[in-house]
Amino acid sequence: MGASSVDWVSDVAVTHVETDWKIDLETTGIDVGINDIEIQPNGLLKYRGEQILLHIKEINSFGHYGLPKFHFYQCATLNNMQSKGRFERYVVTQRKTGYFLMDKKVGYNFYEKDVEERLNVCKNCLNWFNRNYRKRYTVETFDIVEFFEHFTKSPITRTPMYTDKNAPVSGYAADWNEISKQRKEQCGYVCQQCSIDLSLHKNLMQTHHANGVKSDNSSSNLKVLCIECHSEQPSHGHMKSSAAREIFEVQQIKARSPHFRMQREFFK
């Protein structure tokens, strides 16, 4: 009301606040789709300029030595998993604490979700880093924070479909028994690997998840196998002892089969 104007000066300092995605990225992790990952011409990966780590989220075993390792390089382990069609078991995360979100199996098809577990670095990745960057890290002394400060890009040439937050529910689907039965019926209870007909011994036929993701029931991922062929699949060696009686029964059926006798004669 007639007062003269004055220039306003604030004595409050404005502090820069990081965007929510950056905060989530370094704490709980965020959902990242494959289209969000930038694949560089040289094969390196970036997500908004941030390094990524890979690990398997669903675990069946317990104890420190039973836990999977985390990866930061396209090492022999990742190449091996990729060649076996098991790469989709991995998820993407950018946690720097050394603790990763895991789904731990606590029953036949029950999982404790998003349990924080401390994982060790993959020795293949570690050896590559030490050799190429003249480092002397051990599994015990490796520091993820220092590593992230050293790298701004990820030397991994393929990115999994899922992150540690948007990975499918671990374990079999609730209607897995029906899905498995339908798939075996579609194949006439004939093994898709050795062609043995087990229509009279249906209990010896099983349905296998080719990529190791039990929740992926797409037709391309489901393979109908006799229990012997199932035991020969990657990471299924345990079946040779747990299902030894059933495997022997399949072998006896094959021994009596004219088809398999002809095969043996042919390859002699």
Residues 144 and 248 in one domain: no
Residues 116 and 183 in one domain: no
Residue positions counted in the chain: 268
Is the per-residue pLDDT at 262 higher than 70? no
Q: Give CA–CA dist 129/73, Å, rounded.
A: 8
Residues 158 and 32 in one domain: yes
Contact 210, 222 (CB under 8 A): yes
Structural domain containing residue 29: 20-163
Burial of 218 (0-12, 13-18, 19+ CB in 10 A): exposed
Determine the angle formed by the axes of helices 244-256 and 258-266, rounding to 10 degrees: 80
Contact 161, 88 (CB under 8 A): yes
Is the per-residue pLDDT at 89 higher than 70? yes
Helix (H) or strand (E) holding 180: helix 176-186
> Of the ranges 16-30, 164-178, 210-224, 251-265, which one carries the lowest mean pLDDT score?
16-30
* pLDDT, tens digit, 9 for 90 and up, residues 212-247: 878 788 888 899 999 999 999 887 877 888 889 999
Residue 37 inside a domain? The answer is yes
Partners of 54 in the β-ladder: 71, 92
Is the per-residue pLDDT at 118 higher than 60? yes
Overall number of domains in the chain: 2
Residue 171 inside a domain? The answer is no
pLDDT more than 70, % of the chain:
68
Residue 229 inside a domain? The answer is yes
Residues 53 and 149 in one domain: yes
Q: Give CA–CA dist 9/44, Å, rounded.
A: 48
Query: Average pLDDT for residues 103-130, to the nearest whole number?
Result: 86
Q: What is the pLDDT of residue 50?
A: 67
